Amino acid sequence: MKIAILKERRDGETRVAATPESVKKLIAAGHDIQIEKDAGASASMPDSQYEAVGAKLGTLAATLKGADAVFAVRAPDAETLAKLPKGCLLVGQLEPHGDKARAKAFAEAGVNALAMEFTPRITRAQAMDALSSQSNLAGYRAVIEASQIYRRAFPMMMTAAGTIAAAKVFVMGAGVAGLQAIATARRLGAVVTATDVRPAAKEQVASLGAKFVAVEDEEFKAAETAGGYAKEMSKEYQAKQAELVASHIARQDVVVTTALIPGRPAPKLITKAMVEAMKPGSVIVDLAAPMGGNCELTKADEIVEHKGVSIAGFSNLPGRLAADASSLYARNLVNLTPLLVGEDGALAPHWDDEIIIGMTLTRDGKVVHETLK
C-alpha cells in the first residue's frame, strides 16, 4: 500500500507520524512511503534520514498522489482534507469524542477515518495504543515542566549551609500519565502523594512509592468502567473529594492534574479557593487543559499566575518531547498496519476485527461509529 505522511499543520504541533525507523519497517513490509518535505523537521528528523531509508520526499500534492492511506498525528485542516484522495484511509488522533460535525466532514470528503483515540483497551491492542504512548510522555514532561517553574529544588538537600526540604508533589488522576508523573517526581526526590477514583489505582500508586489519598466509599469501589476508564462521579462524591483535596492541597508545593473522563469535560478538582490556600511559589501543571482543565483557573497554553501560584495549562505536552513522542506514535502505527492490509500487502482494512470496528469513524461516505451517528 502507498502510505502518505504529511507535515502537521496544527499550530504548535511538532510531532510527525513516521520516523526513519518506522519508515524502514514499513518499507521492509512491502509498503511505499511518500513523505511531505520537512515533515519531520520539528521532531529533529531531517528529510535526509527518511531518504536514506527509502522514502520518497515531495510536495503536499506529490505526497498525496495515489495514496491508499494517510498516517497523521492530528486531523487534517479542511483545506488539506479536501485534497485527500477519495476512498483513502486516514489514520490519526482525530479527536473524535462526540464531534459529529468532524466525522461528517470525513464522510463527505470520502475518507475512511480511523481514530487512534478509540483503540480498544484490550491486551492485543496495547502496542497500538497512542493514548497510552503519548500520555506516558506527557506525565513525565509535566513534572519536568513543573520543576522548571518551581523556584525550589525537588530533592531534600543537606548542605553545609543547612537543609533544603524535599518538594511535596500531589498527582491527581493516577492513570497512564499520572503514574509516569509519580515515577518521575519520585526519581527527582520529591515526596509524592496521589489520588484517583478508581480502586485499581491504589495499589499502582503504592507500588511506585507514593501515598494514596482518596475518598474510598462505596461509589469509589465501582468507579471503573469495563473499558478501564473512570465514571463521572456523583455530586455527593465530588463534594467529599473536594473537602479532602482542599485540606491536602494547601500543604503541597507542586500539583500535577491528569483526571479525565472520556468524551466529557475534565472534572473540576481544584477551585480558585483551593489555589488561594496554596503557598506562594507553588505550581500546578494541568494536563487536562485541552478538556477544560482540572483547575478552575487553568487557561490552555498559558501559565497563569494567581496570588503567587503558577498554573500551567500546556495542551500538547507530548509535542514538547517531539522526537520521542513521534517515535512511539509511529511505532503504534506500524503495529496497527497489519490490520489495514490483506495478505498481498494491499489496502484491505480488517473491517470485522474488533480493533478496527472500535476505531472506525467513517466508511464509504457514511459515519459508522455508534457514538457519532
What does the binding site for ligand NAD look like in residue numbers (CB under 6 A)?
121-122, 125-126, 129, 131-132, 135, 172-178, 195-198, 200-201, 228-230, 233, 258-262, 267, 269
Q: Which is nearer to ligand NAD, 76 or 175 (CB)?
A: 175
For residue 71, the cross-strand partners are: 5, 91
Is the CB of residue 151 less than 8 Å from the CB of residue 137? no
Alpha carbon distance 372, 362 (integer Å): 9
What's the closest the beta carbon of residue 174 comes to ligand NAD, in angstroms? 5
Which residues, other chains included, contact 337 with Cβ-Cβ below 8 Å and sequence gap of 6+?
A: 26, 29, 31
Q: Which is nearer to ligand NAD, 201 or 297 (CB)?
A: 201
Pairing of strands 283-286, 254-257: parallel
Helices (H), the chain: 20-28, 47-52, 60-64, 78-83, 100-108, 130-149, 176-187, 200-207, 218-221, 235-249, 272-276, 322-336, 354-359
* Catalytically annotated residue among 129, 196, 253, 286: 129
Is the CB of residue 80 less than 8 Å from the CB of residue 9? yes
Residue 229 bears catalytic tag? yes
Q: Which amino acid is at 130?
A: A
DSSP-assigned letters across all residues of 57-77:
EE-HHHHHTT-SEEEEEEPPP
Q: Which is nearer to ligand NAD, 267 or 358 (CB)?
A: 267
Q: Which is nearer to ligand NAD, 124 or 279 (CB)?
A: 124
* Catalytically annotated residue among 10, 47, 152, 229: 229
Alpha carbon distance 50, 33 (integer Å): 9
Is the CB of residue 157 less than 8 Å from the CB of residue 163? yes
Is the CB of residue 281 less than 8 Å from the CB of residue 150? yes
Which residues, other chains included, contact 299 with Cβ-Cβ below 8 Å and sequence gap of 6+?
A: 289, 293, 311, 313
Q: Which is nearer to ligand NAD, 201 or 311 (CB)?
A: 201
What's the closest the beta carbon of residue 348 comes to ligand NAD, in angstroms? 25
Q: Which is nearer to ligand NAD, 86 or 235 (CB)?
A: 235
Q: How many CB atoms lie within 10 A of CB 100?
A: 13
What's the closest the beta carbon of residue 367 comes to ligand NAD, in angstroms? 24
What's the closest the beta carbon of residue 33 comes to ligand NAD, in angstroms? 27
Residue 34 bears catalytic tag? no
Q: Which is nearer to ligand NAD, 164 or 300 (CB)?
A: 300
Question: Which residue is at the shortest CB distance from ligand NAD?
Answer: 175
For residue 346, the cross-strand partners are: none
* Catalytically annotated residue among 38, 44, 124, 126: 126
For 315, what's the count of Cα atoms within 13 Å in the CB-facing half-sphere? 14
What's the closest the beta carbon of residue 96 comes to ligand NAD, in angstroms? 14
What's the closest the beta carbon of residue 258 comes to ligand NAD, in angstroms? 5
* Catalytically annotated residue among 9, 10, 74, 121: 121
DSSP helix/strand/coil, 235: helix
What's the closest the beta carbon of residue 244 comes to ligand NAD, in angstroms? 10
Residue 126 bears catalytic tag? yes
Annotated catalytic residues are: 121, 126, 129, 132, 229
